[in-house]
Amino acid sequence: MPLRFDNQFADKFPELSHAQSIQPDGKGRLRWVNDTLWKALSGGDSVPGALVDWVSGNKDWPGTKPVAQKYAGHQFGHFNPYLGDGRGLLVGQVQAPDALYDLHVKGAGPTPYSRGGDGRAVLRSSIRELLASEAFYALGIPTTRALALVSTEGQIQRETVEPGAMLVRVARTHIRFGHFEHCLYRNLEDSAKRLWQHSIESIWPGAADKSVSEQFRHVVKATAEMIAKWQAYGFVHGVMNTDNMSLAGETFDYGPYAFFDDYKPGHIFNHTDHAGRYGFMQQPGVGLWNLKRLAHALGGFADDQSVNNVLEGYEPVLRETFLNVMKQRLGLTDVSNNDTCWSLISGWLMLLETYQLDYNLSYRALGAVLEGNWQSLSGNLGEIAQRIKENGQSWLNDYTEAVANKPDTNTMKQVNPLVILRTHHAQYVIEQAEQGSDEALNEYINALMTPFEEKHKNTRWVVPPESGQPPAELSCSS
């Protein structure tokens, strides 16, 4: 069956949105489509040939009521009331067999909230979001998804003139912390209350009849779990403004993000973040700060004290989730003493930072060391394993004692990727796509969606950047 749209947000919250259609920017070309996701949303239907025209705005998308959402937010710690969907439209909600999902088109043209911008997206940033969302999904990190990528005939001015694109994003919700900050700023208490209840019913229907503080507990938990997994896999979001925080706890609005190559936890990847507010080590604290802003915005219709008390559960959830993921990554699943696990995790990260080892490949190399077959490794994996053996013997001795010579290397293979999203690979894919070829794009996406499989071991997608190459620095236009 085709997608069944249920345009709840447009129908219920006209005061928080502006209705308009996708504005074409020339003829569209379908560059990539997620067939599996489309079938999941439609209950098994095939992708229709008209999709490219629907996404590019050259034909009306049947059953939809596109709107630009209005919200506010704290950007780099400062409140900005003038935010909203400036280059994207919420096409509508899709009633899938398992749940309700939002469909959103980025690059759909200027809206009343564009603040002088052109309302467009470029192929470069669209590909980066596509790659990140599907890589995250494969790693088990909560995320929005990419459904389709369409390039346009538009030529978009950023740092240079770049080809245009439109990306279809799928999410449990596009309601952001900043929606409630907008309602607080504009004294829209009734709208905020209705929007909150609508969101809970959509995302966590089992909590629909609970108190606001109990409902808020779901948001706190989801946010803590998401950020803990960022930390465990060495991911830096880059712009954790409150308007980039999803109520569902899904990684949202991919911009100047990066995964670590060599482990440099102090490096700031967003070159516009001069104070380092959104650096890797700051992310857990920023997550809590953002939740406090949301709790304050809910104060108009919730008990301030009970909502704030829920925030006390943030750090325990974050620590527990991080510990559990790291125990799997390090093969410590059978070690019951958490103090011992924390000590080994801390020592491992210190080893990676001191000797500047590749963050994600080191876990795969460690697995081979623990199994005693590391000498069969070649290339970067072999080199990393050698360095672990040479420089980490004290840590390995402590580890061996803790696991009683029974590391859980089977779990390690299931959670430690061979293929991780790397900036230099993404840039290569983008350059090829800008020249008209999607071969590299499809190859990399397929590798990112099966990141644990040994078949990738000798492919280009495993290779880190050349030794001595400085870490990437990206801008918000990424």
118 is in an annotated binding site: yes
244 is in an annotated binding site: yes
Residue 465 tokens, joined: 């950047």
Reduced to 3 states, what is the DSSP secondary structure of residue 157? strand
39 is in an annotated binding site: no
**Residue type present at position 101:** Y
DSSP states of 162-192: EEEEEEEEEES---BHHHHHHHHHTT-HHHH
86 is in an annotated binding site: yes
253 is in an annotated binding site: yes
Please check whether residue 145 is in contact with residue 169, taking contact to mean a CB–CB distance below 8 angstroms.
yes
Please check whether residue 67 is in contact with residue 19, taking contact to mean a CB–CB distance below 8 angstroms.
yes
- The yes-or-no answer on residue 243 being catalytic is yes
234 is in an annotated binding site: no
> Cβ of 65: how many Cβ atoms within 10 Å?
19
73 is in an annotated binding site: no
Alpha carbon 465 to its chain centroid, in Å, reads 22
Please check whether residue 243 is in contact with residue 72, taking contact to mean a CB–CB distance below 8 angstroms.
yes
Q: Which of 25, 243, 273, 408 is catalytic?
A: 243
H-state helical runs in 247-392: 283-297, 304-310, 314-329, 338-354, 361-371, 379-391
Please check whether residue 104 is in contact with residue 88, taking contact to mean a CB–CB distance below 8 angstroms.
yes
Residue 242 tokens, joined: 């409150």
CA distance 339 to 322: 14
29 is in an annotated binding site: no
Residues 6+ apart with CB under 8 A from 404: none
334 is in an annotated binding site: no
- Binding residues for ATP are 84, 86-87, 106, 118-119, 169, 176, 253
- Binding residues for Mg(2+) are 244, 253
Q: Which residues are catalytic?
A: 243
- Binding residues are 84, 86-87, 106, 118-119, 169, 176, 244, 253
